[in-house]
Structure 1
Amino acid sequence: MKRENEEEVKGEEHGAKAVGLLELTLYFLRLGALGFGGPIALAGYMQRDLIPRGWITDREYQEGLAFSQMMPGPLAAQLAMWIGFIRHGVVGASLIGIVFILPTFLLVLLISYLYVAYRGISVVQALFYGIGPVVIAIVALSALRIAKKTVGRDWRLWLIFAVVALTTVVVRAEIALLFLAAGGIGVLIYHPPRYWRRGTTTPAVWGISGFLGIAGAPRLLELGAFFVKAGAFTFGSGLAIVPFLHQGVVLQHHWLNERQFLDAVAVGIITPGPVVITAAFVGYLVDGFVGAAVAAAAVFSPVYFFVLFIGRYIIRYRENAGLQGFIKGATSAASGAIAGASVILGQGSVIDVPTAIMCAASLLILWRFKVPEPLLIAVAAVAGIFLYRG
């Protein structure tokens, strides 16, 4: 209670009104249930709704957005937890994180149940026949947009993008250590060693790579460990998790086949809330409800702990050239991995002339027009019913 009061006083000192935990919780419950459009759209809804009400200040929002963009993990969930934390401490971050994720988690559980129960029926196969090419288009454009935003005109970052994309296609897997290597190259590019003694050093918060692999662990423990690691490497956007999941879920552990994995990505896109809720669908196919709960909790746990223990330091050092360089390098690598994954997934989804046409048309529509992705997927699903030949 004392901590909550301190946070509310802090908010008032910065020009924000005191907002009750219940009010804030109900807002994020509604946003989690109705918030379509991806992470940028969800972040935009928070800015549109919360600043005019005086629940957060523009400065607090900008700091939270900058933190969420710098750190790995789903941006919208991280920003929601950040807002809960600055207003109501650990309790606020915890409760808002839960209610923001809960609606889409329950929806994914329902979809997962129906998928498992009826996927042998031809109409379900036809639906995902049409959905697959659109998902490929969405993933490919996501990689390009992240790259254009982060890489800009820096040929060195485009080289990182190309190398990681090509590596992903050739080895048919994402190599997580490439993210760290790319981040290190980014540090050398934007903060070379000759400046290290003059400026502040970048906080050592990036050692999150390989310690979570648990050989021979029981399946649920192995599932949880994998998704914790996945949540810690989703640099760039929610879809950055796609190549990482493909590597672990399909190639390493063989929990899903290529078709099931692409369907899992589609479920993450068509549901409201964070795209990485794909983890719950994967978990359900692996081990039912318990698997879904373990996977969902695991994939969001890094975000939660980043908010509680690292957020304040990232904000403090966000202008540090070394930190900025690491983020640019790692995000360039992430967008390259997404591009490579779209090629791999496309080989299993774009399988004939109709799917090739649907993929090309989706690319053109998404590139030229602001069409909601779930709407385009719904249209493609209907088209799949008419075009599928079994």
Structure 2
Amino acid sequence: MAKTSSTASAVTRPAAVSLATAFRFWLKMGFISFGGPAGQIAIMHQELVENRRWISERRFLHALNFCMLLPGPEAQQLAIYIGWLMHKTWGGIIAGLLFVLPSLFILIALSWCYVAFGDVPWVAGLFYGIKPAVTAIVLQAAHRIGSRALKNRVLWALAGLSFVAIFAFDVPFPAIVATAAVIGYVGGRFTPDTFKAGGGHGKADKSFGPALIDDDTPKLAHTVFKGSRLLMLVAVGGILWLVPMAWLTVQYGWDNAFTQMGWFFTKAALLTFGGAYAVLPYVYQGAVEHYHWLIPQQMIDGLALGETTPGPLIMVVTFVGFVAGWTQALFGGEALFWAGAVAATVVTYFTFLPSFLFVLAGGPLIESTHGNLHFTAPLTAITAAVVGVILNLALFFAWHVFWPSGWAGAFDAVAAVVSALALLALLRYKIGVIKVIVSAGVLGLAVTLVKPWVMALLATAMAGA
């Protein structure tokens, strides 16, 4: 509960926070940041604004609004921004790295378990139940984003057209995003109310006491915009991207999977407007349909692992990289794990590098004003289009889960029931994603273990008759 202004004024302002203290906090965040972007942002708000008072409510929301406009995982970008605000460039780098590093190591380990032991009956049983739950989770994402973004008939029409474009005509995801951005930009000029961003993150009208970085805190020296600093960051960012990409090209060739992963996930990082679910269709198109690094069922399993580990949901790309490196034996048949681990690291590096550059380069510009951010009409249109794209992804998942052998095969009624129950739990009873996935996995395991006994009983009964 927010404190009154009189109570707030009586509270002492927090002491300066050392970089070592901040390091320990961001490391802790890396291990407890479950719940997707909403959960991660809520954790940071409670810890940084309410409990520790390192930053004020208004400054926190101002930073969050900026990160929401950027492509990439907004929760990690918010951590970079606050880390930079408190401890300059190294503070931002430390906060951003620690936000994803624990998840990187955890997902490499889980991905290894998946590819090495995925055929073990009890593991297969768990994933048998998890797959339909993931289908329900993607449907819930379409519903959640759609209920917030589709505020009028024009946005509904944009979502419908994007669905038809990708479902019926296989239009590439970048083309859909670019078209939606143009529509939003033009529409925002002529009918601004149509493309007015809805929802938001509330007003900054609460006070939890004096903050270390408060509303009236004088501008810090490193937050002042300087053209020379921006040019330096652009140059350093270019080097950090170009050198590894050039090395991969020279070492392995442009057509090698390592090089193509770096190039593909660089493009993916620039298209993640609207959260991880927005870019998943693009990753699916590339990793499954174009490059054939994975099969559809593996992509579904990867999303399940991403949902149940800390860190941004877009960390599912780490799983994609590991499975691709392993299945293609990029270092030969004797080094499958290392091929997977290196591929996972390459993918993660190129996916998250732009987020650091966007925040560190744009932070001083945003700190120059604490007014409302503009240019949201293209983002509104992109978010509307993304709803249709996510719905298409959900249908693709449903097809591969409910008809695992294709349309000519049998319909898996058990998977459909599990998916329906998961969707009911998510939408009607608001049960958390991790609980739904765990419950579905246990149910899938039970069905897998019981099914042979049931089949044997039926066979015995039929033989006796």
Asked whether the equivalents of residues 322 and 343 of structure 2 are also in contact (C-alpha less than 8 Å), the reply is yes
Match of 1:134 in 2: 133
Aligned mates of 2:397, 2:19 — CA distance in 1: 43
Aligned mates of 1:83, 1:337 — CA distance in 2: 32
Select the structure of larger CA radius of gyration.
2
Please list, as runs of the form range in 1=range in 2, the aligned pairs for 1:35-46 lying within 5 A after superposition: 35-46=33-44
CA deviations over 1:169-224 (Å, ceiling 9, x no partner): 22456421211210111111222399xxxxxxxxxxxxxxxxx9x99432212101
Aligned mates of 2:423, 2:171 — CA distance in 1: 24
Letter in 2 for 1:51: V
Aligned mates of 1:193, 1:135 — CA distance in 2: 38
CA separation of 1:186 and 1:313: change in aligned 2, threshold 3 A: farther
Aligned mates of 1:171, 1:349 — CA distance in 2: 23
Match of 2:400 in 1: 348
Match of 1:6 in 2: none
TM-score by length of 2: 0.72
Aligned mates of 1:303, 1:169 — CA distance in 2: 30
CA separation of 1:193 and 1:138: change in aligned 2, threshold 3 A: closer
Aligned mates of 2:146, 2:283 — CA distance in 1: 20
Aligned pair partner of 2:162 in 137, 161, 164: 164
TM-score by length of 1: 0.86
The gaps in structure 2 that reach 5 residues or longer are 1-12, 193-244, 326-339, 404-411, 453-465
Among the aligned pairs, what percent are the same residue?
31
SS, match of residue 310 in structure 1:
helix
Asked whether the equivalents of residues 75 and 312 of structure 2 are also in contact (C-alpha less than 8 Å), the reply is yes
Letter in 1 for 2:273: F
CA deviations over 1:301-320 (Å, ceiling 9, x no partner): 12111111134446759846
Asked whether the equivalents of residues 276 and 314 of structure 2 are also in contact (C-alpha less than 8 Å), the reply is yes
Aligned mates of 1:105, 1:28 — CA distance in 2: 15
CA separation of 1:139 and 1:16: change in aligned 2, threshold 3 A: farther
Aligned mates of 1:40, 1:64 — CA distance in 2: 15
Please list, as runs of the form range in 1=range in 2, the aligned pairs for 1:238-257 lying within 5 A after superposition: 238-257=276-295
Please list, as runs of the form range in 1=range in 2, the aligned pairs for 1:23-42 lying within 5 A after superposition: 23-42=21-40
Aligned mates of 2:441, 2:170 — CA distance in 1: 27
Asked whether the equivalents of residues 422 and 440 of structure 2 are also in contact (C-alpha less than 8 Å), the reply is no
Aligned pair partner of 1:292 in 318, 334, 344: 344
Asked whether the equivalents of residues 157 and 329 of structure 1 are also in contact (C-alpha less than 8 Å), the reply is yes
Please list, as runs of the form range in 1=range in 2, the aligned pairs for 1:242-281 lying within 5 A after superposition: 242-281=280-319
Aligned length: 357
SS, match of residue 376 in structure 2:
helix
Aligned-residue RMSD, C-alpha: 2.3
Task: Find out whether 1:19 has 2:11 as its counterpart.
Answer: no
Match of 1:91 in 2: 90
Aligned mates of 2:116, 2:171 — CA distance in 1: 30
| TM-aligned CA deviation for residue 151 of structure 1 | 2.5
Asked whether the equivalents of residues 350 and 359 of structure 1 are also in contact (C-alpha less than 8 Å), the reply is no
| TM-aligned CA deviation for residue 150 of structure 1 | 2.1
Aligned mates of 1:318, 1:161 — CA distance in 2: 30
Aligned mates of 1:319, 1:244 — CA distance in 2: 31
Task: Find out whether 1:304 has 2:302 as its counterpart.
Answer: no
Please list, as runs of the form range in 1=range in 2, the aligned pairs for 1:100-179 lying within 5 A after superposition: 100-152=99-151, 154-171=152-169, 174-179=172-177
Asked whether the equivalents of residues 172 and 247 of structure 1 are also in contact (C-alpha less than 8 Å), the reply is no
CA deviations over 1:330-377 (Å, ceiling 9, x no partner): 111222211111111111012311111111111111012231211110
Match of 1:70 in 2: 69
Aligned mates of 1:346, 1:285 — CA distance in 2: 22
CA separation of 1:22 and 1:146: change in aligned 2, threshold 3 A: same
CA separation of 1:318 and 1:173: change in aligned 2, threshold 3 A: farther
Aligned mates of 1:156, 1:318 — CA distance in 2: 28
Letter in 2 for 1:139: V
Task: Find out whether 1:383 has 2:425 as its counterpart.
Answer: no
The gaps in structure 1 that reach 5 residues or longer are 1-14, 195-211
CA separation of 1:38 and 1:354: change in aligned 2, threshold 3 A: same
Asked whether the equivalents of residues 37 and 312 of structure 2 are also in contact (C-alpha less than 8 Å), the reply is yes
Asked whether the equivalents of residues 173 and 243 of structure 1 are also in contact (C-alpha less than 8 Å), the reply is no
Asked whether the equivalents of residues 224 and 298 of structure 1 are also in contact (C-alpha less than 8 Å), the reply is yes
CA deviations over 1:268-323 (Å, ceiling 9, x no partner): 111111101111111111121100101111111121111111344467598465x1
Aligned mates of 1:311, 1:377 — CA distance in 2: 37
Aligned mates of 1:72, 1:144 — CA distance in 2: 21
